[in-house]
Amino acid sequence: MTENYDVIIIGSGAGGGTLAYDLASSGKRILLLERGDFLPRELENWDAKPVFVDGRYITKDTWFDRDGKQFQPQVHYFVGGATKLYGAALYRLRPQDFGEIKHTDGISPAWPLSYDDFEPWYSAAERLYQVHGNAGEDPTEGPHSEPYPWPAVSHEPRLQQISDDLAAGGYRPFHAPCGIMLNEADRPRSICIRCATCDGYPCLVHAKADAEVIAVRPLLGRPNVTLLTGAEVRRLETDDSGRTVTGVVVSRDGNREVYRGDIVAISAGAANSAKILLNSATDKHPNGLANGSDQVGRNYMFHNCKAVAALSKERNDTVFQKTLGINDFYFATKDYEYPMGNIQMVGKSNAEAMRGEQPQLTWFAPEWGLDDAARHSVDWWLTTEDLPVPENRVTTDKDGNVHLTVTMTNNEEADRLYGELKKILNHTGMAAHHVFRKNFYMNMAIPLAGCAHQAGTCRFGTDPATSVLDTNCKAHELDNLYVVDTSFFPSIGAVNPALTAIANALRVGDHLRQRMA
């Protein structure tokens, strides 16, 4: 193989897909390497059993925990990456998240750039991914240089009632920012039909603003963009100096192929990007590529989350539930000196997906079947920031497999947030004893496997001794290697990470355009 590309991008998710989209109009020759295929459009897309019970769209990959025990990670190898299944809650980090924040278990470190540096890219990301929201409602949100491109998705009656009850109780609920292509002013022409199978499901009608629909599909057929699916990058080769990536080694249809590009951008997801770099060790860089600092794979974060179903006597007939957010506990409060995190809604429970929770449901309401429980549940998602601890890390073994060692941080803050939710439920007619934790969103028995929000394994910074990437997300130690997925996060905040990955990809895209001009 001889062809030389201007840019090779590895991974087509939030980071890589968006970067490809951004660079395509430059006319540069781009190769997008994706290990998965297009996610099939099939009725199973919207069926809870195949999606949540059978894990139809989860990789068969095996990873290992700190004790060498195997588990199946909740990762998704498709064009569009994890965004094919995501809930499309597209939050900006708060301005304070870019600074240092004290937590019960340590410090969430400052980013080398500020909210103001990211703000224009957040606005551009919201435009591209058609984010619906009402700027100014969320009391912790930073300034917007432009309004959300679409009005917020409206609450259905039960959620509106909860929002009103919360406001009456002194809370400040807001409409959650959301990337679905719903046009409520013109429902007959709306691409999104507002259904109950969104968060955690692929969208059968391609109305979710995911990286495949928004970023990759519009590039198909462009003469300067080549997408190769089923192309798993195994390692990167360098020149003798070790400073330039000269070859991207791919396994495809059982064959070894090597591709060459002037610039290589990895965006395989935080764990897999670290895996590729660590598996690229040679005599020149025995600890792995770009890893003189020994930071590649370290500082793994994935949020300290809880999914909670609250059952009430009233029915909850909400179809699309992910419309409400509460950030009253995002920072320290007068009663607690540490941040607790974000509360939002998760996709509506349904009986099929709840099957694994049956014993607890029987305890709570023996007269109720699963259908009753699902009909009455209101479903919450609690996120507490976890810390970038060096010992929380991805390593690889001699066969190149991922090993994930994680000790959870900020459990006290997460438990406090759960306590605050229970108080909230009292204001909304759902007494605390009607609450149970639910696992089905993260269907796996091992919490480690719930790596939907993975980040941090190649953090950016100004000091090559303590970071892998510079502020343009270029590896300090290489001249032509970039990392543009959530690996670059020095800390993760307590809101969902995808919009920040998308905004950053647009920021890095701008830098690359200038570099290649």
Ligand X SMILES: Cc1cc2nc3c(=O)[nH]c(=O)nc-3n(C[C@H](O)[C@H](O)[C@H](O)COP(=O)(O)OP(=O)(O)OC[C@H]3O[C@@H](n4cnc5c(N)ncnc54)[C@H](O)[C@@H]3O)c2cc1C
Interface with ligand SF4 (CB under 6 A): 180, 192-195, 197-198, 203, 205, 207-208, 320
For residues 35 to 64, the per-residue mask of contacts with ligand X, x marking binding by CB under 6 A and - elsewhere, is: xx----------------------------
Select the binding partner of residue 485 from ligand SF4, ligand X, none (C-beta < 5 to 8 A, by kind). ligand X
CB of 55 to ligand X, least distance (A): 11
Among 7, 20, 23, 88, binds ligand X (CB under 6 A): 88
Nearer to ligand X, 56 or 422 (CB): 56
Select the binding partner of residue 194 from ligand X, ligand SF4, none (C-beta < 5 to 8 A, by kind). ligand SF4
CA-to-CA distance for 417 and 163, rounded, in angstroms?
18
CB 380 within 8 Å of CB 345: yes
Query: Please, which of residues 186-215 interact with ligand X by CB under 6 A?
Result: 200
Pick the closest to residue 150 from 123, 176, 131, 178 (CA basis): 131
CB of 464 to ligand X, least distance (A): 23
CA-to-CA distance for 15 and 81, rounded, in angstroms?
9
Region of 40-48, 225-233, 391-399, 430-438 interacting with ligand X (CB under 6 A) = 225-233
Region of 158-166, 266-274, 401-409, 469-477 interacting with ligand X (CB under 6 A) = 266-274
Kindly calculate the radius of gyration of the chain based on its CA atoms and give it in whole angstroms.
22
243-252 CB contacts, 8 Å cutoff, 24+ apart: 243/477, 243/478, 243/479, 244/478, 244/479, 244/480, 245/289, 245/478, 245/480, 245/481, 248/8, 248/10, 248/33, 250/33, 252/228
Structure tokens at 470: 């510079």
**345 lines the binding site for ligand X (CB under 6 A):** no
Select the binding partner of residue 306 from ligand SF4, ligand X, none (C-beta < 5 to 8 A, by kind). none
Among 15, 339, 461, 509, binds ligand X (CB under 6 A): 15
Q: Tokens 């002037």 correspond to what residue? A: 262
CB of 140 to ligand SF4, least distance (A): 26
Report phi then psi at 33, rounded to 5.
Answer: -100, 120
Question: Cα torsion for 352, 356, 359, 362, to the nearest 10°?
Answer: -20
Residues that bind ligand X (rule: CB under 6 A) add up to a total of 41
**87 lines the binding site for ligand X (CB under 6 A):** yes
CA-to-CA distance for 105 and 133, rounded, in angstroms?
33
Nearer to ligand X, 231 or 264 (CB): 231
Select the binding partner of residue 320 from ligand SF4, ligand X, none (C-beta < 5 to 8 A, by kind). ligand SF4
CB of 330 to ligand X, least distance (A): 16
Query: Please, which of residues 459-498 interact with ligand X by CB under 6 A?
Result: 485-486, 496-498
Find the residue with minimal CB distance to ligand X.
Answer: 13
Q: How is 369-416 classified by DSSP, letter by letter?
A: -HHHHHHHEEEEEEEE-----TTSEEEE-TT--EEEE-----HHHHHH
Residue 164 burial (CB count, 10 A): 13
* Residues lying near ligand X in the complex (CB under 6 A): 10-16, 33-36, 76-78, 81-83, 85-90, 200, 231-233, 267-269, 272, 276, 452-453, 485-486, 496-499, 501
